[in-house]
Chain A
Amino acid sequence: MPLTFIDIEKQKTWRIGIFFLILLFMYFCVTLALVQGILLFIFPFHFIKTGSFLLLERPLYLLVIFGFSLIIAAMHFWFSTSNAVKSVMDNLGALAPDPDDGIHRRLMNIMDEIHVVTGTTRKMQCMVIPTLSMNALAVADLNGNSAIAITEGLLSRLTRSQTEAVLAHEAYHIISGDCMEATVATSLFGMYAAMIEKLQDFGDEDRRGIYPAFLIFWFLLKLSQMLNMFISREREYRADAASVRMTRDPLSMAEALHLISRNWRGSGLIASGLEMLCIINPQEIELDESEGFWANLMSTHPPIQKRIEILLKMVHVSGKDLEKKRELESEDPLINAIFKNRLNQTGKEFSAFRCPSCKQSLFEIPYEKTKVYQCHYCGGTLIENTKIPRIIVRREKKCTERIKSLAKAVTIDNQRKLSLKKLKGTAMDNRHLTACPKCQNPMLRTFYSLAYLIEIDRCSICNITWFDPDELEMLQCLIENKMTAKFDM
């Protein structure tokens, strides 16, 4: 293992050459097939007479076609990879950090520190993705541009040293050339992936004819994906190790991984082609968490638990201690700016349930003289069904103007939705169903009643109800003021 990062930078990234060869091969096959087809179409009689006009038998033609496909492949390669960083960042909606923002300024400082510790002369940009999900990714292209993107949710919830560890991890990916391969592969073959997905959609109808022509693309795409995945798993371990070598702080890295793995990682937001660039796979896949030959071959990320264990072994801390520390930490009001107010309410008891959307522990809090479970991040509430009537009739909590107007708007909107549903006979909205915090089965999404059109999620097994933020207050307000829905149908 090289001692400094200057050495790593010098290593050649030979695999990019392979990608180019794959691309060249693809274009060669396509051009050959196309030219052959045209010739057969134009000179059908000649073909029938001589019995052979196959290009494969004529080296000169083959050479011309090869040259042609070389030019095309080079152009494709150049156009799709030269500005990959910008296109990926645009795709994610990432922005440059805002120098007037305290936390962003801290990020810029940390980025400079990373430059110092790696001793690299190469400029790595840092970007912020404005989303509440928690993830980070690195992108590099052949122009020598590289960027590390971190989501707002992660940036705000990590401490300084944890952010440092995450950025060091990503910086290693850039310096070692890992992410150049991944970026090149994504930008080269991502186009085809989209094309194939579209064709598969059409497949059921009349366009089945084109499909075989793209079979080769499909095959090569899968091959390159597998090549990437095979590499990727090892390199996450290596990047973790490198991060520790840079910051000399394994605990922060472990804490950061732990924190990310327990939250929404941005699945659905980060396109599937980019998942291999992320610090933790945005999708929670069973395959990632398992070991064995097949998992090693196909998965892009190693099991998080194992990564954390390796890091913790360095500081002689067990996983249990980390868990304890994290629970305490989320009580620390300094952690983040966004969730500051909600985190400030300390001294509450944790419950065994987790918020279905934020995956944070719910707190048991008093509400209208009884007890409910509430999430401090999103403000959603979990209530046993037997307690709902009590809460509704009690009038201790006054209904504010904001809730009132919100309730009105929501009722009107839901009324429209309901009418449409009746007309069309299908559900209009196909958001994911919430999983019950108690039994993990999907909850039933329904209105509280047809008179009070507030959407709730109900688990009929555990007899509990989940209210999204403000929904409970809105329901109370509607019932209190007798604002029933009106039907014009």
Chain B
Amino acid sequence: MGWIFIAVFILLFFWMIFIYNQLVALRNEVKNAWKQIDVQLKRRHDLIPNLVSVVKGYMEFERDTLERVTTARARAISAGGIREKAVAENLLTYALSRLSAVIENYPVLKSNENVMQLQEELTSTENRIAFSRQLYNDLVANLATKIEVFPNNIIASLFTFQKAEYFSAEESDKALPLADIGIRSK
């Protein structure tokens, strides 16, 4: 009789280890995905000064569009915490989409090889940000499911695994309904 108890206990123990390791692996994946978003955001921040300096000479009448991009960038760089960052980055996305819409209206700029190249880089960066965010959110959802599912939730609460925060900014999205237009097309 005792043997059975010991066997069940050992089995339970290994099962716990298995679940625990799984959760740890997932948590690290989420962390890594978050770092990847950071990398892409950094890329965007580095790209903006280039774009602004190239475009500046041609756009005498659109000073405030450019200014808005620059200030949004500064705000995004200094932002900390997931929620604040999301809001700031969304603002920057909006400002940039305004800028590309303006560029579309300037035939001189559209025929400029340099500007078009930068615009392509910008489109690519926007895509990368969207994609890394997508991956991050998928992983967060994955982790949340793993933590909440029945037997796992006991272990999760035992070792205080916490759900990660989604990278979304509903408030700012509502405020700026046009946030994504123009950048992902073409």
Enumerate chain A interface residues (CB-CB to B < 8 A): 3-4, 6, 102, 105-106, 109-110, 112-113, 116-119, 159-161, 164, 246, 248, 334
Residues in B neighbouring A106, C-beta threshold 8 A? 120, 124
Minimum CB distance partner of A159 in chain B: B186
Is A102's CB under 8 angstroms from B135's CB? no
Interface residues on B, range: 20 to 34
Residues in A neighbouring B120, C-beta threshold 8 A? 102, 105-106, 109
Is A4's CB under 8 angstroms from B138's CB? yes
Is A6's CB under 8 angstroms from B131's CB? no
Given contacts A112-B128, A159-B186, contact A117 B135 (CB under 8 A): yes
Is A116's CB under 8 angstroms from B135's CB? yes
Residues in A neighbouring B40, C-beta threshold 8 A? 116
CA distance in complex: A160, B126 (Å): 13
B142 on the A face (CB < 8 A): yes
| Between-chain CB contacts (< 8 Å), 14 pairs | A3-B138, A4-B135, A102-B117, A105-B117, A110-B127, A113-B127, A116-B131, A116-B135, A117-B132, A117-B134, A161-B184, A161-B186, A164-B127, A334-B186
CA distance in complex: A193, B40 (Å): 47
B176 on the A face (CB < 8 A): no
Minimum CB distance partner of A160 in chain B: B186
5 A-B pairs with least C-beta separation:
A117-B131, A109-B124, A116-B131, A119-B135, A116-B128
CA distance in complex: A168, B109 (Å): 31
CA distance in complex: A113, B124 (Å): 7
B116 on the A face (CB < 8 A): yes
| B113 vs chain A, min Cβ distance (A) | 8
Minimum CB distance partner of A4 in chain B: B138
Residues in B neighbouring A110, C-beta threshold 8 A? 124, 127
| B27 vs chain A, min Cβ distance (A) | 13
CA distance in complex: A298, B27 (Å): 44
Cβ < 8 Å to A, chain B residues 107-123: 116-117, 120-121, 123
- Residue of A105, A117, A334 contacting most chain B CB atoms (<10 Å): A117
Is B142's CB under 8 angstroms from A3's CB? yes
| B158 vs chain A, min Cβ distance (A) | 24
Is B36's CB under 8 angstroms from A109's CB? no
Enumerate chain B interface residues (CB-CB to A < 8 A): 29, 33, 36, 40, 116-117, 120-121, 123-124, 127-128, 131-132, 134-135, 138-139, 141-142, 184, 186
CA distance in complex: A159, B134 (Å): 22
CA distance in complex: A127, B121 (Å): 20
CA distance in complex: A119, B116 (Å): 28
Residue among B121, B132, B142 making CB contact with A4, cutoff 8 Å? B142
CA distance in complex: A73, B124 (Å): 46
CA distance in complex: A248, B138 (Å): 13
CA distance in complex: A110, B186 (Å): 12
CA distance in complex: A316, B123 (Å): 27
Residues in B neighbouring A159, C-beta threshold 8 A? 186
Is A116's CB under 8 angstroms from B132's CB? yes
| B20 vs chain A, min Cβ distance (A) | 18
Residues in B neighbouring A334, C-beta threshold 8 A? 186
CA distance in complex: A113, B123 (Å): 11
Is A113's CB under 8 angstroms from B117's CB? no
CA distance in complex: A160, B29 (Å): 29
Residues in A neighbouring B142, C-beta threshold 8 A? 3-4
| B143 vs chain A, min Cβ distance (A) | 10
Is A116's CB under 8 angstroms from B139's CB? no
Minimum CB distance partner of A108 in chain B: B124
Minimum CB distance partner of A5 in chain B: B135
Residues in B neighbouring A116, C-beta threshold 8 A? 36, 40, 128, 131-132, 135
| A117 vs chain B, min Cβ distance (A) | 4
Residues in B neighbouring A160, C-beta threshold 8 A? 123, 186
CA distance in complex: A117, B116 (Å): 24
Minimum CB distance partner of B121 in chain A: A109
Residues in A neighbouring B138, C-beta threshold 8 A? 3-4
CA distance in complex: A117, B186 (Å): 19
Residues in A neighbouring B123, C-beta threshold 8 A? 109, 160
Is A102's CB under 8 angstroms from B33's CB? no
Minimum CB distance partner of B131 in chain A: A117
CA distance in complex: A164, B130 (Å): 13
Minimum CB distance partner of B184 in chain A: A161
Is A113's CB under 8 angstroms from B128's CB? yes
Residues in A neighbouring B134, C-beta threshold 8 A? 117, 248
| B77 vs chain A, min Cβ distance (A) | 21
Residues in B neighbouring A113, C-beta threshold 8 A? 124, 127-128, 131
Given contacts A102-B117, A102-B120, A334-B186, contact A119 B36 (CB under 8 A): yes
